[in-house]
Every structure is written in C-alpha cells, then in structure tokens.
Amino acid sequence: MTSIAKETSGLLAKLGVSPGALSGGDLGVTSPVTGEEIARVSQISAKDAGKAIDEAHAAFLKWRLVPGPRRGELVRLLGEELRTHKEELGRLVSIEVGKIPSEGLGEVQEMIDICDFAVGLSRQLYGLTIATERPGHRMMETWQPLGAVGVISAFNFPVAVWSWNAALALVCGDSVVWKPSEKTPLTALACEAIFARAAERFGDDAPEGLLKVLIGGADVGEALVDHAKIPLVSATGSTRMGRAVGPRLAGRFARAILELGGNNAGIVCPSADLDMTLRAIAFGAMGTAGQRCTTMRRLFVHESVYDQLVPRLKKAYESVSVGNPLEGKALIGPLIDKQAFEGMQKALDAAKAAGGSVTGGARVDTGDADAWYVRPAIVEMPSQTGPVLEETFAPILYVMKYSDFDEVLVSHNAVGAGLSSSIFTRDLQEAERFLSPEGSDCGIANVNIGTSGAEIGGAFGGEKETGGGRESGSDAWKAYMRRATNTINYSKALPLAQGVSFDID
Ligand code: NAD
C-alpha cells in the first residue's frame, strides 16, 4: 500500500467508514495528487438503486411528520459532527480531488455554514396569510415536505454540493438520495458515515433510509432521474449532463435544480483599483487549477489600463507555485485526470489557431506519470471566438481588450454558460449598470470582487441557460417543498358565484 493509500484508509477509518468498503470493488479510485489507486469501491446496479430509492421514499413518509424544528435538530447534530471531523474530511477532499489544504477545509466549512443556516430555517418555513374575498373565510399558504430528493454531484465540490442540498431537504421534511461523482466516492462514503453518527445521536425519529448514497456512474444517475418516486433532482455538473437530465425530468413532470457549467467573465474598467483587481483575478482564475464552476475564464480589460494590468497578471501566472497540494506549499494542485489535461491542450491549440497568444499551459512534471499538473495559461485573444465561447474545465484565462462600455456588456453576455460575473470599477454608474437589467445576465453578479468564492447565504449559482437553478441560501428552500393554498370557511354560509344556488332539500 502506498503512503497516500495508507493515509486515506486511516482517515476513512477515523471518519467511520468500514475498511471492507474500500477494497475488492469494481470502481478504482485514484488520487490526482500522484495518479495512484487509493481504493476500490463497489458500485450499485441500476436495479438496486431502484430499491434504495423505494427505501428513501418510505423514510420520507415518516420524516415528513416530524416537526420542522425537530428536523432542524438533526441538521444541528450533523453540523456538530462536521465540526469535529473538519480536519479529516478536508484532508480527504485534498487527497481525492487534489485541492490545496485551505480549499479542502474551506469546502467542509461551507458544509458547516449551510447546516447552521438550515437549523435557523427549520423554524422559518413561513407561508403567507392571504386576504380572501369571501366573508367568514381565511386563506393561507402552507409549505409541505416534497418527497425523496435526488442529488447528483460533480467531482470538483465532492462534499459541499451534497450538503447545500441535503441540509435544506432534511429540514424541509424530505429524505435524500445522493449519487456522487464516480471520481469522488470516498468523500461521499465519509459523509454517509458522518450523517449516520448524527442520526444515531438524534434517535428514533430519524427513520432508516433518510440518506441513501448510490455509488455509480451516469447509468445510476439516470435511474435516479427516471424514478417516479423522486419528485425533484438537484443535479450539479457539466452543461452536457444538464442537457441529458433536464428533458428526462421534464418528461415526467419532475422538478429540476440544475447547477451547470460557468464561462464566467470579469470586466476591468479604467477606474479600477488595479492592485486589488489583480489579486481578485489571480485567485478567481487560477484557484483550484481552474476547476471551479465559478472560475474566471474570460477577462475584458479597458484599453487605457490594459498595458498596466496584463503584463503584471502574466508575471503572477509565471511565478505561481504548482505542485503537490498535500505538502501545503503549492497554490495550484493537479487537474483531475488526463482527459482534463487533453481538453485544456485542445482548447489552447484552438485559441492559437484563432489568433490567440498563449503564456503558460505546459505540463508540470512531478515525477508521477499519471498525475496531471499544468502551469495556468493566460491567452490574449483578438476577439471572443472559438474556445472562448465554451467552458474548458482547466486554468485558462482568455484576455480581451475593450474600448466601449455598452459593447463590452454585450460581449460579456454573449456566451451560454453564464453563471458568475464581476466588474472592477470605482465608477458608480458602471457598477450600477452592470447590476441593472441591462447589465450582467448571470446568476451571480459582483462588484470589485472576483467571480469565485460564493457564500452559502446567497443562493448559489443560477446558471442563466437553465433558468437559474438555485442551491443553498436565500429562498432556495422553496424548491424542496410543495406549496398548498388552504381556504377555511368559518361562517355558516357557503358563498357561490353570483346567481348560482343549489336546491339541496
Ligand atoms: P459531469 O457532468 O461529468 O458529472 C457530474 C455528475 O453527473 C456526475 O455525478 C455524473 O456521474 C453525473 N452524470 C453524468 N451524465 C449523467 C446522465 N446522463 N444522467 C445522470 N447523471 C449523469 O461533471 P464533472 O466533470 O463531475 O464536474 C465539472 C462540471 O460541473 C463543470 O462543468 C462545472 O462547471 C460544473 N459544476 C457546476 C457547479 C454549479 O454550482 N453550477 C458546481 C460544481 C461543478
């Protein structure tokens, strides 16, 4: 057993995952840090996935009757368990996905934050009281639990995405069926064990089957999407996946929350504070090796500040440390796999063919043949064409010059996968126009802060092509419940439409 494999099984044991679950399975798990195999887990068949969903549905039927604030107590205990195990789970995220330690721990912190949010929410699932036109009546809106909620998650936020969905779903009275990325089953098994401990502490009110974790690939995801007892699927991943999942859910009138790709942009205006802007761009574009849905991928720089900003940005790109994230010195870890590396090289070749000038982008040799580290790439483009219009899930920043504010707003919005956006300016009119109806069309629009690093308190995401799916904060919880309008007649009369009466004697 290699040292990373040993450390992984030690961490999983501390987190409560049985060693038997980590060997002999049909799915090899590799760490992108070195490319070595660290476990072999078992995948569920589509048929058994159906059985697990039935169990989750049976759990829902009981859980929906537990009062909201009591359901919140389970999520409070989950938050406590996450606090206790933050170091181990954060380290496991770093091993399985290759995030640097602060990012691995940051992801667990987001889980803790959403638990805190959901605990408060469990006492605030408010409906409206509505003025009724009928005398002697009262009318109100009630939010009711929805069912067993499906969660499909992407590799790059292997644990946070689950928690954004699960914490809300649980306080809303729903059970959860989670299909994590096939690239990150270990962190999912760890979350399952952490949740089981919280449920045990909570007691008998938490029915068996409240959380089901289905390890498997797209076929298991499809089984979840097609199952009649799943009224809502929250799917996070590529736009390609969303295009497959969305119509299938619509075909059976199930709800979808789709959090998909992000071809996110920043605009640097003449009045921008360039030091601050530089730091925000460097973090937003290079962080997590460009493998965030909110990574900054396009940058429009006003011609008056282009020559002050872009050479400094290139210098930052050339000097940033790339390497093993577990050793704690590098700022940029590996790409997830060889396919991601090849996708990046293909995009850079296409950018060159479209007239782009590339700095960086070469492979960094760490001595491990199956580990895929790259220098982040900055590409000066003559215009927004070719690969600039698509999300490549790697650290590539396309930089373009602009001269007219109205035109740059149009260019900013001229891509499909609009998720997050930023403007850097000290001009109030530019900032407000960027946030106005004629400004950024993305689900996240920021001023003087980069595109990445969203907080759970605001609803996360809102990719424009999907109609703006929202997870986590704000009023995202409403998607996990069904709304009923209730009318109560406390009079002795039954008002009917004018001129209508029934002879009932
Ligand atoms: P992916 O689309 O390859 O896979 C995501 C998940 O979908 C996996 O669990 C996968 O097994 C499942 N899946 C794939 N095809 C499916 C199908 N036909 N039916 C059901 N399930 C299916 O994405 P990835 O490579 O794991 O993650 C990177 C992508 O996710 C990027 O595009 C990134 O922008 C996006 N992402 C978005 C957000 C957000 O909040 N908007 C957050 C994280 C990642």
Q: What is the pTM of this model?
A: 0.96
pLDDT of residue 357: 97
Q: Is 80 left (phi over 0), alpha (psi -120 to 50) or beta?
A: alpha
Residue 491 and residue 482: Cα distance in Å, rounded?
Answer: 28
Pairing of strands 470-472, 459-461: antiparallel
pLDDT score for 309: 98
Q: Is the CB of 218 under 6 A from ligand 1?
A: yes
Q: Which residue CA neighbors atom 39 of ligand 1 most closely?
A: 259
Atom of ligand 1 nearest to the CA of 240: 2
Residue 155 CB less than 6 A away from ligand 1: yes
Q: Give the helix/strand (H/E) hosting 294.
A: none
Closest-lying ligand 1 atom to the alpha carbon of residue 152 = 9
Mutation to probe ligand 1, out of 152, 215, 463 (largest number of atoms < 8 A from CB) = 152
By most ligand atoms within 8 Å of CB, the mutation choice from 241, 259, 339, 342 for ligand 1 is: 241
Distance 498 CA to ligand 1 centre (A): 55
Q: How far apart are CA 138 and CA 146, in angstroms?
A: 24
258 lines ligand 1 (CB under 6 A): no
Joined tokens for residue 10 = 């030690």
CA of 178 relative to ligand 1 center, distance in Å: 13
CB-based contact 459:472 (threshold 8 Å) = yes
CA of 102 to the centre of ligand 1 (A): 23
pLDDT of res. 319: 95
Q: Are 451 and 282 in contact (CB under 8 A)?
A: no
- Regarding the beta carbon of 184 and ligand 1, being less than 6 Å apart is answered no
CB-ligand 1 contact for 396 (6 Å cutoff): no
Q: Which of 103, 107, 192, 259 is catalytic?
A: 259
- Whether residue 233 has its Cβ less than 6 Å from ligand 1: no
Q: Coil, strand, or helix at residue 218?
A: helix
Cα 108–Cα 61–Cα 476 angle in degrees, nearest 5: 45
Binding site membership of 173 for ligand 1 (Cβ less than 6 Å): no
- Which region, left, alpha or beta, applies to residue 45 given φ > 0 means left and ψ of -120 to 50 means alpha? beta
Run of H or E including 56 = helix 46-63
Instruction: Decide: 236 in ligand 1 pocket, CB within 6 A.
Output: yes
Domain ranges for the chain, please list them: 44-82+109-260+466-485, 264-447
Tell me, what's the pLDDT at 303?
98
Residue listed under structure tokens 């887990």: 41
Q: Which atom of ligand 1 is nearest to the CA of 471?
A: 40
CB 391 less than 6 A from any atom of ligand 1 = yes
- Pocket of ligand 1 contains residue 157 by CB under 6 Å: yes
d(CA 372, CA 183): 15
Q: How far is the CA of 155 from the centre of ligand 1 (A)?
A: 7
Residues 378, 397 contacting (CB under 8 angstroms)? yes
Which residues lie closer than 8 Å to 346 by C-beta, 6 or more apart? none
Distance CA 493, CA 496 (A): 9
Joined together, the tokens standing for residue 427 give 């001009």
C-alpha–C-alpha distance, residues 258 and 169, integer Å: 16
Longest Cα pair distance anywhere in the chain, in angstroms?
A: 92
- Ligand 1 centre distance from Cα of residue 92 (Å): 20
Tell me the CA–centroid distance for residue 450 and ligand 1, in Å: 23
Indicate if 192 belongs to the active site.
no
Token reading at 293: 């849905």
The token pair at 489 is 């007649």
Q: Which atom of ligand 1 is nearest to the CA of 245?
A: 19
As a CATH number, domain 44-82+109-260+466-485 is: 3.40.605.10
Mean pLDDT by 10 residues, the chain (505 residues): 90 95 95 97 95 98 98 98 98 98 96 98 97 95 98 97 98 98 98 98 97 97 97 95 96 95 96 97 96 96 98 96 92 97 98 97 96 98 96 98 98 91 98 97 94 83 75 92 97 82 78
Q: Which runs of consecutive H residues, i.e. helices, occur in 178-298? A: 185-202, 218-226, 239-251, 274-286
**Does the 264-447 domain belong in CATH 3.40.309.10?**
yes
Write the CB contacts of 495 (distance below 8 Å, at least 6 apart in sequence): 134, 135
